[in-house]
Chain A
Amino acid sequence: MQKLRLFYCIVAAAVLVPVAAFAASAVSEGERLGRPCAGCHATDGYAPGEYIARIGGQNAEYMTKVMKDFAAGKRKGSVEMSLLAKGYSEADLAAISEYYAGKPWKNSTNKIDPKKSAAGFKIAKENGCFDCHGTKGEGMDAYPRIGGQNSGYLHEVLKRYQTGKIESEEMALVKDMSDSQLEALAQYFSGIRK
């Protein structure tokens, strides 16, 4: 299987070379539509602040779902994103998501409080966060990457699952948590650097 995939890659590359020679700039539909997002999310989606989410390297399936939820007004706490996402078709949103998902992930550079982070790790272990989000919080498919995400954003989105502003069966487990527990979780996952 591994060998087979490699073989296809070589064939594909060989076919692509002459095309690439003509098309000096190959801008996908997702890139054309997605470039302006970098005005808030930074180039390639590596948002340097705390409260705007990193989107470069997020999982495509999850990101596509979230973008559609924004457009449908299903994530009420996300005011900017709800207004903006309505301007694109479903196909556009999927293309933009594929574009950002295609970037390698880069971890947050936010300052982390080690005490809160340690407390967060304990809560995460006790609540099985790793079962769905992976041991490094990397997620997969419909499970979002949360390891190395920006801390302020993680805290805010956890509050929304807690208050029911975002509905999610999987995330219902945070409903009984206190705000300081959510903050600790946010600090821990944001601080994952590998």
Chain B
Amino acid sequence: MNASLDSRTPAPAPQAAPEAALPRQTEALRLRLAELRGPETAPYPLDARALAALAANPGCRRRALLDGAGVDKAALARAIGSPATFGQSQFAFVRGNAFEARVGADAGAELVRLLVETHRDVAAPGPEGVSVPDLTATGQAARAARTRLALTEAFTADRWSLLFHPMVTLDVAGAPAHLEPDVVAVGPDGHCTVVEIKSFPVVDGSADAAKVGAAARQAAVYALALGRLAERIDGPEPSHRGAPRGTDRIRPTALLVCPRDFSNLPTGEPVDIRKQLAVTRRQLARLTRIEEIAASLPEGTTFDLRPAADGTATRPVDELVHAVESVGASYSPECLAACELAIHCRSRSRGSGAVEALGRSVRGELGGLTTVESVLLAAAGTQGDETDPAVSSLRRAAALRAEALAGETPCH
């Protein structure tokens, strides 16, 4: 599940039409992003989880820029003294890997079985078996090229193909992100299914809704990237004999593979990702172009930690904080579980008295009041325009609350 926003020019893919491939980053932007990240620093990989989180908060220019430039946000957060609160336990890591290995064992026989079981319209593999192309290559560009080749073959193979850890690319705010789905299955009918392997259990057919939702959002990111790739492979010709082409090849149902009940045996659950696809597509389109954000930064801004030999940052903290603060953010408590910079952004948000620090939904009922102080002053009647419905509601709320707390009203 590794992927990255690579700012190096991808090597032209063999037999591919590079012009049509990716919106190439301009040399100027490439240099600019490298400068922001630090010329010595390799771009930090951006995975589908991060992309899904980015799409969930499209209003945040700060995150878009840092992700786009391949800045390691966790390291940046540590360097400015507000480390992220989440980490991964090695137990979870080991367990996740063990389960994934188990699911993929036997050249994916179990996986194909689950696919056939959950999709009524797909045929079980015949004697021709399942093809599992080797996708290993050095470097993201080469891996993406291999994936493209393997997928082109799979589309016309008339048999099942399983692509384990393929590499696909997606244009994110004007920079290509490399993504690595767990598995992409191509059926004999030329349809692709995104397979997500997760280690949380499905007990009696149901699983933690939040985790399923997160998996669906990630699958949607992969499906989006895969659809673009299929479009490039198939070209503009119309389909013949009703065979699927381009984005139509991608099934709007991903296959979620999880341990069943309390065992280590895999079970497959089809997950409808149409909604997530639409949302992700729209949100990614809403992301301000990184070029624009980068251009708006003051001269000399950089997130380069200038790491010493032992990896500790040597750039002064206030310089880094200044750089971070030069890009607008859009903090809400949901950031805490989704973004490494959340502790920093939260303290700024709280410090400025922003109402969103209490929850994204809070804004809605407060009209034009954006700070805690202005809300309280309006509620107390010392500030604000009484004809503003938000202000008058607040005054009534404050009066009713005070009355109830003073024990002056009956409740019956």
Partners in one complex: no
A interface list, Cβ under 8 A from B: none
B interface list, Cβ under 8 A from A: none
